[in-house]
C-alpha cells in the first residue's frame, strides 16, 4: 500500500482453493512423486495492474482447473479482501499516522514472538512427533 508515493504496507491474504489442477480433483491427492502432480505452479505475479484485473492471467489460471467458475470467484474474493485491507490500513494511517501504525504493528509481532517463545520454554524437554491425515484417505496412510 502506497502512502505519499512510498510503499509502507502490504495487504495480503492466503486461501486454499478447492482445485488448482493437478493429479486429482481437490488438489490434495496423496502418494504423488513430483510437484507438477500437485497442481498449477504460479510464480509471484501481479493479477491487478494499475487498478485493472489482468484478464489474460486470470483466464490462464481458470483454464487450468476443473472448477473454473468457483476458482474465478475465489480469486475475485481474495482481491476484494485485499482491497478492504488496504482501505482499512489507509483509514488507520489517517487516524494514527504511518510511523505510529508501523510501531503498533511491530509491537504486535514482538508480543506474538515473546508469547510463542514463552510457550515453547514451558514444554518439557523431549521428543515430539505429529501425524496427520488428509480427508478421505485411509487412516493407515499418514502424511
pTM for this entry: 0.73
Structural domain boundaries in the chain? 2-96
Cell numbers at residue 41, please?
505452479
pLDDT tens, 10-21?
Answer: 888 888 787 777
Cell numbers at residue 130, please?
505429529
pLDDT tens, 51-68?
Answer: 899 999 999 999 988 889
Q: Name the DSSP class of 18.
A: S
CA distances from residue 88 to 22, 85, 105, 108 in whole angstroms, order as listed: 36, 5, 14, 17
Report how far residue 78's alpha carbon sits from residue 2's, in angstroms, rounded to the nearest whole number.
Answer: 19
Name the band, by pLDDT with cuts 50, 70 and 90, for residue 28: low
Element spanning 6, H or E: strand 6-7
Amino acid at each position: 500500500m502506497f502512502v505519499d508515493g512510498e510503499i509502507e504496507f502490504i495487504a495480503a491474504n492466503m486461501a486454499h482453493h478447492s482445485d488448482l489442477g493437478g493429479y486429482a480433483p481437490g488438489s490434495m491427492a496423496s502418494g504423488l512423486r513430483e510437484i507438477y502432480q500437485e497442481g498449477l505452479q504460479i510464480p509471484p505475479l501481479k493479477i491487478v495492474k494499475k487498478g485493472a484485473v489482468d484478464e489474460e492471467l486470470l483466464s490462464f489460471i481458470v483454464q487450468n482447473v476443473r472448477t473454473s467458475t468457483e476458482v474465478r470467484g475465489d480469486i475475485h474474493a481474495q482481491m476484494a479482501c485485499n482491497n478492504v485491507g488496504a482501505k482499512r490500513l489507509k483509514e488507520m494511517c489517517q487516524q494514527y499516522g504511518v510511523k505510529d501504525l508501523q510501531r503498533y504493528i511491530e509491537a504486535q509481532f514482538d508480543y506474538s514472538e515473546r508469547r510463542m517463545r514463552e510457550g515453547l520454554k514451558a514444554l518439557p524437554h523431549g521428543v515430539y512427533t505429529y501425524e496427520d491425515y488428509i480427508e478421505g484417505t485411509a487412516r493407515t496412510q499418514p502424511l
